[in-house]
Amino acid sequence: MTPRKPPARFDARRAQSGAFLLEALIGILVFAFGILGLVGLQAAAIRNTNDLQYRGEAIQIASAAMGRMWTMDRANLETFYEGDAGTGGDGYKALVEAAERLPGVKGVDALAPTVVVDPGPSTTSSMVTVTMRWQLPGETAPHQYVSSVLVGLN
């Protein structure tokens, strides 16, 4: 008859070998995902800051143009300012030149500002709408700012 081996003892240390390494790897993985999330949030914040900077600049350009419209004779307003890509008087050309500070606007193209002068509620006033457009690098859709002002007397 063959001699029997004594039953193997359960060694707790041996059963736990590698568990600490597994916990450390999972901790590193969770930390890495947290860092990637923070980097994504930082990139989104920078993109939004750039957009807000250009939106503020578009607002300033449009407001300055509308302020100059208030100082003009209303009879000349339409010929001096009204325009879109390819047309417009000296005031419109100055507006396009100022708009070239915005990204994506190059002279008179699809992103050039537009100025529409409509009759106002009275014969001595005009409703003016100025549309500013810009497109950030790497984006497919342009951004725009539209502002309207009543120029003249009611």
Q: Which residue stretches of 71-106 are H helix?
A: 74-81, 90-99
Distance CA 142, CA 46 (A): 18
Structural domain boundaries, residue 105: 19-152
Residue 7 lies in a domain: no
Q: Would you state the pLDDT for residue 50?
A: 86
Q: Is residue 4 part of a domain?
A: no
pTM for the full predicted model: 0.71
Count the domains in the chain.
1
Is residue 96 in some structural domain? yes
Report if residue 104 sits inside a domain. yes
Q: Report pLDDT digits (tens) over 79-89.
A: 888 765 556 78
Tell me whether residue 13 is in a domain. Answer: no
Instruction: Kindly state whether residue 107 falls inside one of the protein's structural domains.
Output: yes
* 6 within some domain: no
Domain presence at residue 8: no
- Radius of gyration in angstroms for the set of CA atoms belonging to the chain, rounded to a whole number: 33
